Amino acid sequence: MSEIDDRLKALGLELPAPRPPAGAYTPVVIDGNIAYTSGTVAIENNEPASVGRLGAELTVEDGKQSARGACLRSLGTLAVAIGGLDRVERVLKVTGYVRAVPEFTDLPPVLDGASELLIQVFGEAGRSARTTVGVAALPRGASVELDMVVRLRGS
């Protein structure tokens, strides 16, 4: 069993199975030892797990769970694409898009739901550069979408 699988198990986490992309794109592109992931939202029972806007229907804690769910799903997709998360050498960049009303300002704690998961799973190699912005709309009304750029170990 792999080191990362052990850690996921200890955290009580299961990687969601990849889903088909929502359009004419691919969930992950691998270019040499860099993986680019597509924008991902948390999904439950084929629906976005969290729908709504921060600062209106949703609290920061709701958003944090949504970011964590999006990140976990992204890791599930990445794991299949690269043959297991032990190949992750470093998460280089996370860009997080939070569906929010214009008055909402408390964006970084929302994305910490994703970043804290990455650090739990990969240790300091999961501590990435990050950009967080509040957007008007997201696919299917989801509250958080994120993508990543990841350095892989040589294959």
Query: Applying CB under 8 A, which residues contact a second copy?
Result: 21-29, 31, 36-39, 53-55, 90, 92-95, 97-109, 111-112, 115-116, 118-119, 127-141, 145, 147, 149, 151
Secondary structure element (H or E) that encloses residue 38, with its range: none
**Shortest separation between residue 47's beta carbon and a second copy, angstroms:** 12
Nearer to a second copy, 2 or 131 (CB): 131
Q: Are strands 47-48 and 43-44 parallel, antiparallel or unpaired?
A: antiparallel
Comparing CB distances to a second copy, the nearer of 17 and 92 is 92
CB of 44 to a second copy, least distance (A): 17
- Give the nearer residue to a second copy in terms of CB position, either 16 or 96: 96
Residue pointed to by tokens 């690269």: 82
Q: Which is nearer to a second copy, 4 or 68 (CB)?
A: 68
Helical residues (DSSP H) of 15-126, grouped into ranges: 60-82, 107-122
- In whole angstroms, the minimum distance from the beta carbon of 1 to a second copy comes to 27
Token readout for 38 is 């597509």
Cα distances from 118 to residues 11, 76, 102, 114, 154, in angstroms, run 12, 12, 28, 6, 20
Where do runs of H (alpha helix) occur along 83-106?
Answer: none
Min CB(73)–a second copy separation in Å: 14
